[in-house]
Structure 1
Amino acid sequence: MNATPEPQSANEGSAPRSPLLLAIGERTRSLRARRGLTRRALAEAADVSERHIANLEHGTGNASILVLQQIANALQCALTELLGDVTTSSPEWLLIRELLENRSEADLRRVRIAVGQLLGTDPADPLRSRRIALVGLRGAGKSTLGRMLAEALDMPFVELNVEIERVAGCSVQEIHGLYGTNAYRRYERRALEETIQLYGEAVIATPGGIVSDPATFNELLTHCTTVWLQAAPEEHMARVVAQGDTRPMADSREAMEDLKRILEGRAAFYSKADTIVDTSDKPLAEAFAALREAVVAATSAQQALIGQ
């Protein structure tokens, strides 16, 4: 992928860029990274020019959004309320949003779990401690360490990508090429649901982008004890290259920068895992020992909660 030159607005240098447009640009970059898309891939999926995406991310996108901001300010409401997102669709939504505004991540997590249990969408799963799901970027060691953990715990090992291909009847690459990312996410959700139904206990290696769909990730958090296998970007890259595969950064001259952005975009979601194991600079045996210790501690805590 050819590097895109830094875009410049017509009046750059004569006037500061809008903080609002800069924020929208940063949000766009963050969402793109979380989904593991290059700028070119996003442009193709959105059917707009790569230059337009570059301008948007650089904070020099369509300035008409500023007019909406002025109207929102005049109405003393948030821009999202003017645009009509789901949290503004009823008085109850507005009241709930007000209650949650400015709460800490820990508070929001407790609310999410409590709401799920209240509505029956997040019931306590007695088998949760017997399903171990490994999350993280490609190259973190999910397959290698997952197989070792499954053998040590005498559990089945499930590679979710293999289950996705079984459900779809074709390879992951063919799913993306023939049907697109949205179809892949649907197959991913179905494969996870079937895996949870079929296995009362298992070690599951998940695709790196499973955090991209909140519904699928919620399903994973509900029914599995999750472990984020964390590593430095350089180690992720080295391990992926050693496997002979540079996805999702193929043909990019800025592969490392892309990988860092993907990791940055997904880290907040990976951190929702029950426990984190850093595999950076660790020999395989040491990384496995750390993983097994963390899993024993996390599952013991889950079983203690069930016994209360």
Structure 2
Amino acid sequence: MSSNILHKSGLTPDSFELAEPDATAVATAPAAGPEPEEKNPFLVALGDRVRALRARRGITRKAAAMAADVSERHLANLEYGEGNASILVLLQVARALQCSLAELIGDVTTSTPEWLLIRELLEGRDDAALRRVRVTIGELLGTGGSHAGINPRVALIGLRGAGKSSLGHMLAEDLGFPFVELSREIEKFAGCSVSEIQALYGMNAYRRYERRALEEAIQIYPEAVIATPGGLVSDPATFNQLLSHCTTVWLQADPEDHMKRVQAQGDLRPMAASKQAMEDLKGILAGRAAFYSKAQYKINTSGQSLESAFQALRQTVREALQLPA
């Protein structure tokens, strides 16, 4: 908070804890008027958090409004669930209350002091450090599987057209493991095709079937090669399960190769309806690449024959599982 704002409001940084509420303090309701019949629960909860954060900081509403560059009345309406503020106004209020926008809108990782302390510890850490923390937490909570050791469930991840099915079949046969096509398992649970699940029941239902199919595969098969749907990484809970219980390999390919292979399969979903199919595919790949890269191993299948890509995959997996070449 800038010093000129503090000066105008009659507060100094040291006075926050001692400042007495003024006529517009935490417990003061807005001016009397017709009460709306029903307030939006989200806006009410947002207002409760704004008041609580302001009280925690020891800042009067007048000072907070001045720091946020909004009218006191506007802030009062926000606090009592009657103001539907723009995202920019919420950002200004968050800065005035010296908190993150996530804390203001109710992100679960800001919901308790412990969550906030954990966030502070993780803030600014690089990806390698965060991965170590994730693995350690998984082991501590008993959800880490055997991630730190050898895990003979091999999961192939990547976008459609990367070769998960073809290479997965070949790898399973070479290792003597069952081959699990997770999309087929999802269809068995639902009793209809993947496209029908999404059309009839929506993406949330599909993700539930996907998680259930993965959980069952993990329970049934101590050893397996699992070909996963390309979008599995979009659900953090399901992807965490995969990372914790499988040796993961990202089958990577250039967008052009993905497109050619999907076209060769006679299946253009989800690209058929778009004139910008290649741009769409590049966007999907770019959006998922950071998640795919969490796999323990990566094989680039572009510019390789099926046999050469298989040999690279075979060598990588056998070394990972400490099996003879």
Q: 2:309 aligns with which of 277, 282, 287?
A: 287
- Aligned residue runs from structure 1 range 109-188, under 5 A: 109-124=131-146, 129-188=151-210
User: What's the secondary structure of 2:162's corresponding residue?
Assistant: coil
Corresponding residue for residue 240 of structure 1: 262
Q: 1:196 aligns with which of 218, 222, 245?
A: 218
- Aligned residue runs from structure 1 range 7-22, under 5 A: none
Identity of aligned residues (%): 70
> Any conservation in 1 of the 2:147–2:247 contact (CA below 8 Å)?
no
- Aligned residue runs from structure 1 range 197-276, under 5 A: 197-276=219-298
> Any conservation in 1 of the 2:172–2:224 contact (CA below 8 Å)?
yes
> Any conservation in 2 of the 1:131–1:203 contact (CA below 8 Å)?
yes
List per-residue Cα deviations over 1:26-57 (Å, max 9, x = no partner): xxxxxxxxxxxxxxxxxxxxxxxxxxxxxxxx
Tell me, in whole angstroms, the C-alpha distance in 1 between the residues paired with 2:187 and 2:145.
29
Deviation at 1:126, TM superposition (A): 9.4
Tell me, in whole angstroms, the C-alpha distance in 1 between the residues paired with 2:150 and 2:192.
30
> Any conservation in 2 of the 1:277–1:290 contact (CA below 8 Å)?
yes
Structure 2: 5+ residue stretches without partners: 1-83
Q: Give the RMSD, CA atoms, in angstroms.
A: 1.7
User: What's the secondary structure of 1:217's corresponding residue?
Assistant: helix
User: What's the secondary structure of 2:146's corresponding residue?
Assistant: coil
Corresponding residue for residue 99 of structure 1: 121
Cα distance, 1:128–1:206 mapped onto 2, change above 3 Å: farther
> Any conservation in 2 of the 1:137–1:236 contact (CA below 8 Å)?
yes
Cα distance, 1:297–1:63 mapped onto 2, change above 3 Å: farther
Tell me, in whole angstroms, the C-alpha distance in 1 between the residues paired with 2:182 and 2:206.
12
Structure 1: 5+ residue stretches without partners: 1-61, 302-308
Which amino acid is 1:289 matched to? Q
Which amino acid is 1:131 matched to? R
Question: Who wins on radius of gyration, i.e. which is larger?
Answer: 2
Q: 1:64 aligns with which of 73, 78, 86?
A: 86
Corresponding residue for residue 4 of structure 2: none
Corresponding residue for residue 278 of structure 1: 300
Cα distance, 1:135–1:119 mapped onto 2, change above 3 Å: same
> Any conservation in 2 of the 1:160–1:205 contact (CA below 8 Å)?
yes
Comparing 149-158 with 232-241, which one deviates more in the overlay? 149-158
Tell me, in whole angstroms, the C-alpha distance in 2 between the residues paired with 1:179 and 1:141.
28
> Any conservation in 2 of the 1:275–1:298 contact (CA below 8 Å)?
no
Which structure is higher in helix share? Answer: 1
Deviation at 1:199, TM superposition (A): 1.0
TM-score, normalisation: structure 2: 0.71
Deviation at 1:123, TM superposition (A): 3.6
Aligned residues: 240
> Any conservation in 2 of the 1:274–1:298 contact (CA below 8 Å)?
no
Cα distance, 1:128–1:169 mapped onto 2, change above 3 Å: farther
Structure 1 residue ranges (4+ consecutive) displaced by more than 6 angstroms after TM superposition: none
List per-residue Cα deviations over 1:250-299 (Å, max 9, x = no partner): 21001111111111111111111110000010011111111111112222
Which amino acid is 1:183 matched to? A
Deviation at 1:135, TM superposition (A): 0.3
Deviation at 1:154, TM superposition (A): 1.2
Deviation at 1:173, TM superposition (A): 1.0
Tell me, in whole angstroms, the C-alpha distance in 2 between the residues paired with 1:138 and 1:87.
33
Tell me, in whole angstroms, the C-alpha distance in 1 between the residues paired with 2:223 and 2:141.
26
Deviation at 1:70, TM superposition (A): 1.1
